Structure 1
Amino acid sequence: MDATDCVVVGGGPGGAVLAYLLARAGRRVTLLEARSDFARRFRGDSLAPPVMDWLDALGLADDVLARPHATADAFTWHTPTTAYRIADYSTASTRFPHYVLLPQPEFLGLLTERAAAYPGFRLEMSARVNELVEEDGRVRGVRYRAADGQTRELRAPLVVGADGRFSQVRRMGGFDTEELGAGLDILWFEVPRRDGDPPLSGLDYFAVPGAAIVALGQGATWQLGYIIPTGTVAQAREAGVEPVVALARDRMPWLGDRLDALTAFTDLTLLNVRITRLPSWYRPGLLLLGDAAHVISPVGGNGINIAIADAADAGNTLAPLLAGPRPASRGSSAPESPDPASLDSACREFAVRRRAVSDAEQLSQVRAERGSLDRMERGDPRPVWPLRLAASVPAISRTLGKRTASAIAIPPPTADVLGAPAAR
């Protein structure tokens, strides 16, 4: 049996950020990731301007920008006749007036590399948590199957489940879920990006009567997402890949021979869009954040940003409460624990703050998806009239871009986080 100050389950953006912050604050933290690497295909890669400002405060923004990336200065909705620049991010940040599109493996690799510089950080890959350790009504740690096949037990005052939309920690913790209903699914694929490609805004939605495709620009590729109504993947599979290729060729003819490699439906990756709400994110000794606590739709590209903001708030909240490395008391092999009542109270308050953010985002996404589906079914490729109005008035477009980006409500790092101990 081993012990630490905090176990974070899940090496996605939320888990990696929280582990980095706690390690930087001098706490002992173990990050358990079920996969053997950080490869993530067609996952959230867009870092919002406020997140870049937050990373800058931590001294990480330049490291992010040193990695292969692209930028998106607006969200643009294209019809066959008009391009609507709906959300303009030029005033969302002084230094970062755009979203930064960074492949998720690059971002996770950067965070864990920086976290490894602090003595309290430990990362275990291929570590599959299969049981929560519970005593006296509290979660006291986890049991997991390590990379060598051995089952290990790791104890901590707090376990944080950050293991994504299909969270096993959420399941093992017995948390209730509520599906808000998503109207759209996405069939993803990617093609190489070339120097001569047109300078799109970077977050582009191409609609024609009855169909739509999303284009996300990245450093080396275009990620393309073909929109289908939820529950119609069987019909899409029967139709094959031809409608997807045809729409991409029609709206982005400059892709040319890059679409030739898309020959079978199996070349597409289905993302089942879900919008899931949890009545509670916490029980004694166990906290959820990111998609484990609230599954966010890809609509708006803010799922990764809300997960990072969750972790930023959790880092601020937990760093002063969790015990740093200290000798075990006489007759005990574990370090002293923080006061359970204080930890419980802080976690409940954290959940209340962050649920207000995720609830608002999810309700907005439900409205947006239902509206988009309704317009697809009616054969109208245009955005709804308020968005057309926003696109027609640059000041409104800039205001909408600023509000959309700031809706993630990321708090600045506290002195406990910024006052880091010396790295190794």
Structure 2
Amino acid sequence: MQFPSSTHCCVVGGGPAGMMAGLLLARAGIRVTVLEKHADFLRDFRGDTVHPATLRLLDQLGLGERFARLPHRKLEHMRMHIADRTITVADFRRIPGRHRYIAMVPQWDFLDLLATAALEQPTFTLRMSAEFTGLRTESGRVTGVEFRNRDGRLETLATDLVLACDGRGSATAAAAGLRQDLEDMPMDVWWLRIPTADAPRRESQVFARFDAGRAAVTLDRGDYYQTSYLIPKGSDERLRARGIDWLRNDLATLFDWPADTLDAVRTWDDVKLLDVTVGRLPRWYTDGLLCLGDAAHTMSPVGGVGVNLAIQDAVAAARLLAAPLLTGTLTTADLAKVQRRRRLPTILTQQSQRGDHDILRRSLNGTLTTVPAPLRLINRIPALSALTAYIGGVGLRPEPAPAFARA
């Protein structure tokens, strides 16, 4: 197959932000190429949450019925257990709109849906097994990308704009000399799957347990619990030296699981480490390049808000950049408009996560002995659980689909 050697827009990274940006720009008639370094979208422990704001967006794009046919579960509320009390911290059934839940769907299915819709547009190209290796510049302006194709050969793609959507530790942002200012984090996360066949089912599909010196969150995914076990920052090697039986016993105690439920966690190979980072680029762009999603602002896994925020970035970028891309008048001032539009939601979301991090820090160091006052208030006044659900599920400044992309 003959692929184009030039494009209006090259998107590096086929995650939620990259695929959504590619779909929207292609519906505007813009020639867009998405480069994804993997051969497929099958990744374990990716963000599998599709928030109400994204579900509303899919409806506007005419993709709601397609999405509804994907196997998924509906997350309607979140609960946590702290100091012998169980409280509801978010109730999505109380938020306005048609979609009063978070849809739990494997991210590869969601990305396949976006890719299929995008490939229906004649101006869209998807290159799988295309690993970014560098940028081309002329007179200080980014004019193209270099990448290694599925045959191992180096190729160059000339472009008017590069969208860096390659996630945390973005190689594209680094090549452009853009570095995030990082915050101190109290924790890293171990991710693992626990089969639900022999485990007691809970009323809540998301259940967090914060104990003295221990913290974990489990999501009911049907035939397994997707479980996150939090550890103090930088303690991975030290804690693994205790042996896998220690972790199995700790999880069984935390969630009242029978011991044999944890038999599926056979070795440390079944436990994946997420090095938690939170940060933000002071400037999201340089001439000819713009960063979106985690490439611009790395989010904590708390609340699973990173995917929704990244998609909102993509929508704003498509709406603001489609016209100058079509007319060949794109400038850095246009890229700055995207950052200005998305800067406040990013800052406020990260600020909200800092409160959650303080609870996690106190849990891990053993000083969390009572339910914090803000959580007691949320539990006492049900309307507040609707507010937290709205902030987490819809977000601050949700972006509507551009008129040119609507079905």
Q: TM-score, normalised by structure 2?
A: 0.94
Matched, 1:116 2:119: yes
Contact 1:53–1:93 under 8 Å retained in 2: no
Report the secondary structure of 2:168's partner residue: coil
Please say which of residues 29-38 and 400-409 is displaced more in the overlay. Answer: 400-409
2:308, 2:76 → 1: CA distance? Answer: 16
Give the CA deviation at 1:219: 4.4
Matched, 1:378 2:366: yes
Contact 2:83–2:371 under 8 Å retained in 1: no
Matched, 1:300 2:303: yes
Matched, 1:400 2:403: no
Q: Of 151, 158, 161, which residue of structure 2 is paired with 1:158?
A: 161
Contact 2:21–2:318 under 8 Å retained in 1: yes
Q: Map 1:228-239; keep pairs closer than 5 Å.
A: 228-239=231-242
2:101, 2:259 → 1: CA distance? Answer: 28
Q: Of 399, 403, 406, which residue of structure 2 is paired with 1:411?
A: 399
Matched, 1:84 2:72: no
Contact 1:86–1:388 under 8 Å retained in 2: no
1:370, 1:82 → 2: CA distance? Answer: 19
Structure 1 residues 382 and 100: alpha-carbon distance in aligned structure 2, compared to 1, 3 A threshold: farther
User: Which residue does 1:326 correspond to in 2?
Assistant: none
Structure 1 residues 359 and 20: alpha-carbon distance in aligned structure 2, compared to 1, 3 A threshold: same
Q: Could you report, residue by residue, the CA deviation over 1:6-58 in whole angstroms, capped at 9, with x for unpaired residues?
A: 00000111101111111122211100001111122112111111221111111
1:234, 1:418 → 2: CA distance? Answer: 49
2:215, 2:403 → 1: CA distance? Answer: 46
Matched, 1:200 2:222: no
Structure 1 residues 290 and 77: alpha-carbon distance in aligned structure 2, compared to 1, 3 A threshold: same
Q: Map 1:271-420; keep pairs closer than 5 Å.
A: 271-323=274-326, 338-341=328-331, 344-380=332-368, 382-418=370-406
2:18, 2:322 → 1: CA distance? Answer: 15
Structure 2: gaps of 5 or more residues: none
Q: Map 1:206-221; keep pairs closer than 5 Å.
A: 206-221=209-224
Structure 1 residues 308 and 197: alpha-carbon distance in aligned structure 2, compared to 1, 3 A threshold: farther
* Equivalent position amino acid for 1:290 in 2: G
Report the secondary structure of 2:99's partner residue: coil
User: Which residue does 1:67 correspond to in 2?
Assistant: 70
Report the secondary structure of 1:246's partner residue: helix
Give the CA deviation at 1:75: 1.8
Give the CA deviation at 1:93: 3.7
Percent of residue pairs identical: 35
Q: Of 132, 147, 150, which residue of structure 1 is paired with 2:150?
A: 147
Give the CA deviation at 1:241: 2.2
Report the secondary structure of 2:94's partner residue: coil
Give the CA deviation at 1:211: 0.3
Report the secondary structure of 1:156's partner residue: strand
* Equivalent position amino acid for 1:163 in 2: D
1:274, 1:53 → 2: CA distance? Answer: 29
1:398, 1:367 → 2: CA distance? Answer: 18
User: Which residue does 2:187 correspond to in 1?
Assistant: 184
Report the secondary structure of 1:123's partner residue: strand
Give the CA deviation at 1:255: 6.0
Contact 1:180–1:366 under 8 Å retained in 2: no
* Equivalent position amino acid for 1:179 in 2: L
Structure 1: gaps of 5 or more residues: 324-336, 420-424
Contact 1:305–1:408 under 8 Å retained in 2: no
Report the secondary structure of 1:8's partner residue: strand
Give the CA deviation at 1:364: 2.2
Give the CA deviation at 1:370: 2.7
Q: Could you report, residue by residue, the CA deviation over 1:324-368 in whole angstroms, capped at 9, with x for unpaired residues?
A: xxxxxxxxxxxxx61133xx2221011112122112212222332
2:293, 2:370 → 1: CA distance? Answer: 32
Q: Of 79, 95, 100, which residue of structure 2 is paired with 1:97?
A: 100
CA RMSD of aligned residues (A): 1.9
Q: Of 251, 270, 273, which residue of structure 1 is paired with 2:273?
A: 270
2:28, 2:159 → 1: CA distance? Answer: 17
Structure 1 residues 137 and 90: alpha-carbon distance in aligned structure 2, compared to 1, 3 A threshold: same
Report the secondary structure of 1:181's partner residue: coil
User: Which residue does 2:10 correspond to in 1?
Assistant: 7
